[in-house]
Structure formats: C-alpha cells, structure tokens
Copies of this chain bind each other. A is one copy, B any other.
Amino acid sequence: MILSIIFVTMTVQGVRERKKGATRARIADVAARLAVEHGIAATTVDEIAAEAEVGRATFFRYFDSKELAVAHGLSGAGAYVLAGVLREVDPRLGPADAVRAAYAELGRDFARHRAMFYEQAMLSRSSPAMFAWTLHLYVDWETAIADAVAPRFADLRDGDPRPRMLGAMTMAAARLAWGEWLDDGGTGDLPALTQKYLATLDLRLPDDR
C-alpha cells in the first residue's frame, strides 16, 4: 500500500501520460511498418488504427495525417537519438563541430542500417504529400537539435538566432545528402555525403562582421 503510494508519487509522469506516449509510439510503429511493407498509398488509416488497436478517431487525435504518423514511425526517434549523441560528444567542441562529430558517430554503424535508410528515403519520396509531411517532421528535429546544441554557444544571449539556424542547417545537410545518396541509387557512402554538406556549414556572431 505504502509502497504503491510511494511508487505513484515517484512516477515522473502519471499513468495517463505514460499511456498516451505508448499509444502514440504504437500507432507510429504500425504506420511505418505497414507503409514499408505495402507502400503508403496501399496503407489506409483504418488498417493502421485496427492494427494498433485504437479507434479511427484516436488515430487522428495523435497524428494530423497518415503521412505524419508514418514519418514519425520511420524516424521520429531519430531526432532524440541525434540530440542525445550531441549532448555527449566532447564538450570542448564548438556547436558546428559538435554536430559534425555527432553525425560521424551516428555514421559508424551506417552499414548495418543501410537498407532501412534506403526504405525510408524511398518512402519519403513516394508521394508529394509524404515529402511535405517529412519536411514537417524535420522542423521538429531542428528544434531538438537547437536545444541540444545551444549550451555550446559560449556567449548565448536571449533570442539568439544561431541555435535555430544551426538546427536548420543540420537538417538541410542531412536532407540534401540523403537526396543525393538516393539519386545515386543508395549505393554510395551516405555518412561521407552528409559530412560533405555539413562541411560547408559555419556560423559566426552577428556582430563579428
């Protein structure tokens, strides 16, 4: 009894929040799996909802569109993985170098996940709507990256544009590299391509000029 009270008290997020997170993740996972298996066009919201064991209305409470659910399922966790890595790379590195280092870190086991990357890229291009919603998701990534990298700006001030810009540039590099990689048939070295785009990236203080 007392134990359960303590447990409840200790629980960071209540039952409700935890359930919501689980449901959201379940829907996204199912959406991504079905889309990879049968293609986005052949996957209906009804199927996703049924497979995820939620009502159709609930599906749309969690995601604004079928495409967004798929995008989340494919790579929704990616932003947090990257943000996590970003926080852990050598603290002496500046913001832009930290991003490059984080991507280098992620690129290490690229070979193992090559097929997955290819599938995701193909899917994100499979329709204009899917592409649009993928871009929508990228904006979330941008903010996650910005938050993760902000502490590395030594002289950060209020409303500083640099973290957000660095996030945007990072995602642009990832997106462009991914596109070029796909155009080449997905046979090339995606991490190297990403570094190529990232290498063009630099930031300077507004008043350094």
Contact = CB atoms under 8 A, between A and B. Distances in A.
Contact of A136 (B65, B132, B197, B206): B132
Interface stretch (A40-48, A79-87, A115-123, A160-168): A160-168
Nearest to A127: B64
A185 to B, nearest CB: 15
B128 A139 contact: no
Interface stretch (A3-11, A28-36, A103-111, A169-177): A169-177
Nearest to A131: B136
Interface residues of A, number: 36
Main secondary structure of the interface of A (DSSP, over half): helix
Given A64-B129, A135-B132, A176 B165 contact: yes
A180 B161 CA distance: 10
Contacts of A200: 161-162, 165, 203-206
Interface in A126-173: 127-129, 131-133, 135-136, 138-139, 159, 161-162, 164-165, 168-169, 172-173
Contacts of A201: 165, 203
A190 interface: no
A72 to B, nearest CB: 13
A99 interface: no
Given A65-B129, A161-B173, A169-B172, 9 more contacts: A64-B129, A65-B128, A65-B132, A131-B136, A132-B135, A161-B176, A165-B200, A168-B175, A172-B172
